[in-house]
């Protein structure tokens, strides 16, 4: 597959990444109250028992200048204990909503850098929560590991708590790129982490890698692919570098000339994709590559893959509870986001309140639309009955697909939209083209990263 330059210039627009629908910039201004959210969360749990728990651990020792995540840079490890205390206090508010031990299906530690925390603090956090829950026999527990701060004790402690998936932040292996983005790590650290994970018994190792990083050239992508061929992680998240300098001040260190864009960026993607496929990885959904036997690949092929704030998952849970600064909870019909500022987050929680600062109550039409966006993101296809509310909601935007049909990105017939192989690269554009909220909202300010 070769992505033509004309398509790249045509579709290289700022569009959402759809980790939620509606996406955060399109949430309403009215913030749900604590009671409204707790009721929505509990109803979601009662409808389909099982919790996906996300815990945001925001600290990192050094700032990677390309980073777009919510993080706090510090070398002071004195922050660990008060932060964990606050997260446990926040959890106690949720726990009080359940008369009996709730069922945990999925648990993800994200950041920031979860392994900034010592193994003993992580153990204190997780055993306090998990000892008072029922853990689903098919649970999926995963965490994000920075190679520079993760040691063997982290791996063993988390394994003993039920973690079987590790996601390692690799990004690129070339020393000059790592230096340019101030990413302090070595290939040896990634190699050790991968090997220890396998020795200890982790069943899935994911690498996060990025194309389009500042100064990145094809040789850097091929060196990274060569390293991958040697280490054979089970899964790869091959992210497009999101250049969002209005949100991430450290990205202002790069000028637009430093950052590959348009054709030069898509060439990095094409090269990476070709090399990964030659190693037996299969592209699934947006950004992801998996070995054939990987669980996520199996669930994709069975049409069961799901996407939530934690990314792609093979577990569908209606009730997503999120703890920690900036994290986002989801009850299927309501989203809430926590305060981002660490000290304010802790203060509010220590007063016994949930630190909700944003949220959105989905309308029935939005919930329907969310289903179609998720279908496109997870199954490459969606359809609806000809006489239905869905048909009425989508109809005004269908002409937006005409050009994409002509360009061979999608097929549209009999109320079914199906994304072609070529179209998978433009999945965000395809979703945006039928998204009523995106189409009807015009903003002077930048909101989203470019599609390519």
Ligand X SMILES: C[S@@+](CC[C@H](N)C(=O)[O-])C[C@H]1O[C@@H](n2cnc3c(N)ncnc32)[C@H](O)[C@@H]1O
Binding site for ligand X (CB under 6 A): 60, 66-69, 110-113, 144, 146, 169, 171, 208, 210, 239, 241-242
Is 328 within 8 Å of 309 (Cβ atoms)? yes
Minimum CB–partner distance for residue 19 and ligand X (Å): 12
Specify the residue, 308 or 331, whose C-beta has the smaller distance to ligand X. 308
* Helices (H), ranges, 256-294: 262-278
Distance of alpha carbon 352 from alpha carbon 370, whole angstroms: 33
66 Cβ contact list (under 8 Å, min separation 6): 171, 181, 183, 210, 213, 214, 241, 250, 251, 254
Report what 309 binds from ligand SF4, ligand X, none; CB cut-off 5-8 Å by kind: none
Site string for ligand SF4, 365-384 (x = CB under 6 A): --------------------
Nearer Cβ to ligand X, position 193 or 319? 193
Indicate the residue among 55 and 64 with the shorter CB distance to ligand SF4: 64
Q: How far is the CB of 80 from ligand X (least distance, A)?
A: 15
Tell me if 60 contacts ligand SF4 by CB under 6 A.
yes
- Is residue 111 close enough to count as binding ligand SF4 by CB under 6 A? yes
Residue 14: burial class (beta carbons within 10 Å; 0-12, 13-18, 19+): middle
* x-or-dash string of contact with ligand SF4, 156-195, rule CB under 6 A: -------------x--------------------------
405 binds, among ligand SF4, ligand X, none (CB under 5 to 8 A by kind): none
Which one of ligand X, ligand SF4, none is in contact with 210 (Cβ closer than 5 to 8 A by kind)? ligand X
CA-based nearest residue to 361, from 336, 397, 339: 336
Give the other-Cβ count within 10 Å of 264's Cβ.
Answer: 14
Residue 21 interacts, among ligand X, ligand SF4, none and using kind-specific CB cut-offs from 5 to 8 Å, with: none
Rule CB under 6 A: choose which of 64, 166, 369, 430 binds ligand SF4.
64
Check: CB of residue 147 under 8 Å from CB of residue 168. yes
Over its C-alpha atoms, the chain yields an Rg (Å, rounded) of 21
Q: Is there binding between residue 71 and ligand SF4 (CB under 6 A)?
A: yes
42: tokens are 């509990």
Nearest to 145 by CA among 119, 182, 120: 119
Does 56 bind ligand SF4 (CB under 6 A)? Our answer is no
Asked if 214 is part of the footprint of ligand SF4 (rule: CB under 6 A), the reply reads no
Min dist. Cβ of residue 177 to ligand SF4 (A): 13
If binding is defined by CB under 6 A, does position 69 make contact with ligand SF4? yes
Residues listed for the chain? 452
User: Which spans in 14-116 are helix H?
Assistant: 34-47, 80-95
* Residue 233 backbone phi and psi in degrees, to 5: -60, 155
Residue 300 binds which entry of ligand X, ligand SF4, none, CB below 5-8 Å type-dependent: none
Rounded to the nearest whole angstrom, what is the least distance from the CB of residue 170 to ligand X in the complex?
8
Beta strand pairing status for 282-284 and 72-73?
A: unpaired
Q: In whole angstroms, what is the distance from residue 300 CA to residue 293 CA? A: 11
Q: Identify whether the C-beta of residue 334 lies closer than 8 Å to the C-beta of residue 362.
A: yes
Q: How far apart are the first and last CA of the chain?
A: 16
Q: Tell the smallest beta-carbon distance from residue 181 to ligand SF4 (Å).
A: 9
Q: What is the DSSP letter of 401?
A: G
Per CB under 6 A, 108 contacts ligand SF4:
no
Binding segment for ligand SF4 among 5-13, 63-71, 280-288, 357-365 (CB under 6 A)?
A: 63-71
Q: Which is nearer to ligand SF4, 12 or 113 (CB)?
A: 113
Nearer to ligand SF4, 175 or 280 (CB): 175
* Least distance CB 361 / ligand SF4 (angstroms): 30
Query: With binding defined as CB under 6 A, does residue 147 bind ligand SF4?
Result: no
CB nearer to ligand X: pick between 175 and 352: 175
Among 300, 320, 295, smallest CA distance to 309 is for: 320
In the block, which residue shows the tokens 């446990």?
88
Q: What does the DSSP assignment read for 229-264?
A: HHH--SEEEEEEP---TTT-GGGGGS-TTTS--HHH
Interacting residues toward ligand SF4 by CB under 6 A:
60, 63-64, 67, 69, 71, 111-113, 146, 169
């Amino acid at each position: 597959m070769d992505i033509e330059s004309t398509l790249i210039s045509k579709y290289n627009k700022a569009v959402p990444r759809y980790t939620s629908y509606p996406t955060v910039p399109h949430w309403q201004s009215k913030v749900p109250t604590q009671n409204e959210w707790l009721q929505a969360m509990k109803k979601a749990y009662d409808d389909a028992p099982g919790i996906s728990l996300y815990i945001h651990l925001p600290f990192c020792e050094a700032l990677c200048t390309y980073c777009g995540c919510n993080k706090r840079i510090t070398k002071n490890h004195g922050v660990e204990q008060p932060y964990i205390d606050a997260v446990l206090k926040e959890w106690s508010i949720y726990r009080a909503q359940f008369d009996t031990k709730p069922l945990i299906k999925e648990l993800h530690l994200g950041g920031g850098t979860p392994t900034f925390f010592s193994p003993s603090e992580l153990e204190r956090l997780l055993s306090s929560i998990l000892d008072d829950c029922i853990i689903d026999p098919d649970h999926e527990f995963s965490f994000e590991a920075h190679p520079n701060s993760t040691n063997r004790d982290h791996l063993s402690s988390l394994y003993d708590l039920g973690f079987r998936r590790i996601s390692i932040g690799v990004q690129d292996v070339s020393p000059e790129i790592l230096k340019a983005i101030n990413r302090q790590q070595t290939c040896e650290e990634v190699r050790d982490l991968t090997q220890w994970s396998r020795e200890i018994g982790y069943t899935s190792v994911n690498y996060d890698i990025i194309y389009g990083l500042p100064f990145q050239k094809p040789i850097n992508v091929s060196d990274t692919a060569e390293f991958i061929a040697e280490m054979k992680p089970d899964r790869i998240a091959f992210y497009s570098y999101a250049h969002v300098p209005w949100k991430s001040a450290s990205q202002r260190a790069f000028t637009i000339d430093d950052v590959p864009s348009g054709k030069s960026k898509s060439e990095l993607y094409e090269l990476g994709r070709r090399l990964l496929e030659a190693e037996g990885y299969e592209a699934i959904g947006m950004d992801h590559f998996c070995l054939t036997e990987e669980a996520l690949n199996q669930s994709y092929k069975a049409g069961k893959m799901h996407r939530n704030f934690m990314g792609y998952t093979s577990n569908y849970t209606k009730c997503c509870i999120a703890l920690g600064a900036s994290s986002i909870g989801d009850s299927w019909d309501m989203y809430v986001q926590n305060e981002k500022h660490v000290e304010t987050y802790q203060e509010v929680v220590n007063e016994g309140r949930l630190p909700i600062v944003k949220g959105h109550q989905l309308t029935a039409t939005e919930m329907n639309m969310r289903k179609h966006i998720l279908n496109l993101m997870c199954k490459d296809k969606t359809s609806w009955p000809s006489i239905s509310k869905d048909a009425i909601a989508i109809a005004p935007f269908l002409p937006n697909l005409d050009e994409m049909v002509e360009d061979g990105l999608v097929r549209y017939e009999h109320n079914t939209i199906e994304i072609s192989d070529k179209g998978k690269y433009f999945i965000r554009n395809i979703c945006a083209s039928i998204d009523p909220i995106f189409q009807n909202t015009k903003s002077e300010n930048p909101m989203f990263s470019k599609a390519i």
